[in-house]
């Protein structure tokens, strides 16, 4: 089991990463002092896979516990479900020292985390991430939120967890599309901060058809560890996302537009960010920073790991509209994350719109 200490202004907390952590979890949970009870929040799908192991783990804490299950999906990350979690905490007389465990992907982490951050102005929060996205990104750094009136993450706070437990074994039950989703985020860390991550991915993944076995490799565990460490360092440098942490938005400006234009269905977040990063590489090439050979190499990696290399089935007009570029009076203000070279990200403000639009067109299928 490996340990990273996250250092933030509100608290320093340990992130444990390893295999078979159900065995260690009760002791880790008991190290959070003065708790009388635990509320574990998860969803029906995850619970159906891990129910008996969760019961064993919770029983082993020796604490009173209850489980709250949410329906699966982004649409349930909302204030109504958050209120239902409050109701459960009220009914069980939940105190600030009691423990909320968010056992799931980013949806559960954000939703349960937001409930935990606001009930009694904050109860003890354990992020127990079960997806690649949540292990490398959302469980670390304290961003918690719910969607409101279909606007993503519009109601939220920064609330650092008290403990993170990232068990690599949980990833073995992920569907392939969720693995690819997570690989989009991992490539982002590789391009921005650590080329060693790209090398490791290239080494362990031969083709998209063997992703499920590739992620069981110890090298994949190393990749998750490297990404979690990077996220921890980025958060330590700019906890409130004022400047440096914005680098994590690499590929997101165009990626979000693709998600929106696709109606949030045909393209997953990780795929959209993957395509957004390709567009950002094209902009970096256009501005003379990167070579076309560099992009070809990245495209080769995308093909190996199953990330889409072309924007397919999304109308260009819709993308332009989603970016707000169809309006007459656009302020022209935008802030892009580009690459000066591999692992040399920088911010570029007020990029000309035709360069942005061309970068999207370049990547249309
Ligand atoms: P998710 O939470 O929806 O999980 C993806 C799917 O995998 C779901 O169907 C889920 O039920 C299933 N699943 C989860 N764990 C599983 C397991 N071990 N085995 C089998 N199936 C499993 O998606 P995600 O990609 O983890 O997270 C996306 C969410 O995270 C979005 O809401 C996004 O806004 C948020 N997010 C937050 C941050 C942050 O910093 N707070 C960062 C990135 C993303
Ligand atoms: N997921 C981006 C961030 O935490 O800032």
Q: What is the pLDDT of residues 160-196, one digit of tens each?
A: 999 999 999 999 999 999 999 999 999 999 999 999 9
Say how many Å lie between the CA of residue 268 and the centre of ligand 1: 11
Angle between the 176-192 and 292-305 helix axes, to the nearest 10 degrees?
150
| Residue 332 confidence (pLDDT) above 80 | no
Which residues are near ligand 1 (CB < 6 Å)?
43, 45-46, 49, 72, 74, 77, 104-108, 110, 130-131, 133-134, 137-138, 141, 143, 152-153, 170, 173-174, 178, 181
Say how many Å lie between the CA of residue 313 and the centre of ligand 2: 28
> Cβ of 291: how many Cβ atoms within 10 Å?
12
pTM: 0.96
Q: Dihedral sign for Cα 82, 83, 88, 92, please.
A: positive
Query: Hunting for tokens 């559960």 — which residue is that?
Result: 108
Q: What angle do CA 174, 179, 183 make, to 5 degrees?
A: 155
Residue nearest atom 20 of ligand 1, based on CA coordinates: 174
Task: Give the pLDDT confidence of 84-140 residue by residue, as tens digits.
Answer: 999 999 999 999 999 999 999 999 999 999 999 999 999 999 999 999 999 999 999
Say how many Å lie between the CA of residue 289 and the centre of ligand 1: 34
CA separation (Å) from 364 to 55, 137, 206, 234?
A: 48, 28, 25, 32
CA separation (Å) from 48 to 54, 57, 144, 258, 296?
A: 10, 15, 25, 33, 42
Q: What value does the mean pLDDT of the chain take?
A: 95
Say how many Å lie between the CA of residue 136 and the centre of ligand 2: 10
Hey, which of 133, 137, 158, 238 would you mutate to test ligand 2's pocket, going by the most ligand atoms within 8 Å of its Cβ? 137
Task: Give the pLDDT confidence of 144-153 residue by residue, as tens digits.
Answer: 999 999 888 9
Token reading at 220: 């994949």
Which residues 6+ apart lie within 8 Å of 265 measured at CB?
Answer: none
Task: Give the pLDDT confidence of 24-35 residue by residue, as tens digits.
Answer: 999 999 999 999
Q: Where are the beta strands (DSSP E) in the chain?
A: 2-7, 12-18, 37-43, 64-70, 99-104, 124-129, 143-148, 151-158, 163-167, 335-341, 344-349
Residue nearest atom 40 of ligand 1, based on CA coordinates: 138
Measured from the Cα of 108, ligand 1's closest atom is: 2
Q: Which residues pair with 65 in a beta bridge?
A: 38
> Cβ of 62: how many Cβ atoms within 10 Å?
10
Task: Indicate the helix (H) or strand (E) that contains 326.
Answer: none
Q: Which residues pair with 18 in a beta bridge?
A: 167
pLDDT at 327: 63
């Amino acid at each position: 089991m490996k340990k990273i200490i996250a250092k933030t202004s509100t608290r320093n907390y340990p992130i444990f990463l390893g295999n078979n952590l159900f065995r260690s979890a009760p002791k880790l949970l008991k190290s959070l002092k003065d708790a009388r009870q635990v509320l574990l929040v998860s969803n029906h799908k995850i619970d159906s896979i891990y129910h008996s192991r969760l019961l064993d783990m919770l029983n082993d804490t020796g604490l009173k516990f209850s489980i709250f299950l949410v329906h699966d999906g982004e649409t349930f990350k909302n204030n109504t479900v958050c209120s239902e979690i409050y109701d459960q905490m009220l009914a069980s007389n939940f105190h600030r020292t009691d423990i909320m465990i968010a056992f799931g992907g980013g949806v559960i982490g954000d939703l349960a985390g937001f409930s935990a951050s606001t009930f009694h102005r904050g109860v003890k929060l354990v992020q127990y991430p079960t997806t690649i996205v949540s292990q490398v990104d959302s469980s670390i750094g304290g961003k918690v939120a719910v969607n409101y009136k279909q606007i993503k993450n519009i109601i939220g706070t920064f609330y650092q967890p008290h403990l993170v437990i990232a068990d690599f074994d949980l990833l073995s039950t992920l569907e392939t599309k969720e693995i690819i989703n997570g690989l989009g985020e991992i490539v982002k860390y590789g391009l921005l901060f650590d080329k060693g991550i790209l090398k490791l991915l290239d080494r362990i993944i031969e083709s998209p058809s063997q992703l499920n076995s590739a992620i069981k490799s110890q090298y994949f565990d190393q990749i998750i560890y490297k990404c979690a460490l990077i996220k921890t360092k980025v958060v330590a440098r700019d906890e409130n996302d004022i400047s440096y942490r914005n680098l994590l938005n690499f590929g997101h400006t165009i990626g979000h537009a693709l998600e929106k234009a696709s109606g949030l269905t045909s393209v997953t977040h990780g795929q959209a960010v993957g395509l957004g990063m390709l567009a950002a590489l094209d902009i970096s090439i256009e501005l003379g920073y990167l070579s076309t050979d560099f992009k070809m190499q990245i495209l080769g990696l995308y093909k190996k790991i199953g990330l889409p290399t072309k924007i397919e089935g999304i109308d260009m007009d819709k993308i332009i509209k989603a970016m707000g570029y169809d309006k007459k009076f656009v302020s022209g203000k935008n802030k892009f994350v580009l690459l000066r070279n591999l692992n040399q990200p920088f911010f570029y403000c007020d990029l000309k719109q035709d360069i942005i639009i061309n970068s999207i067109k370049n990547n249309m299928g």
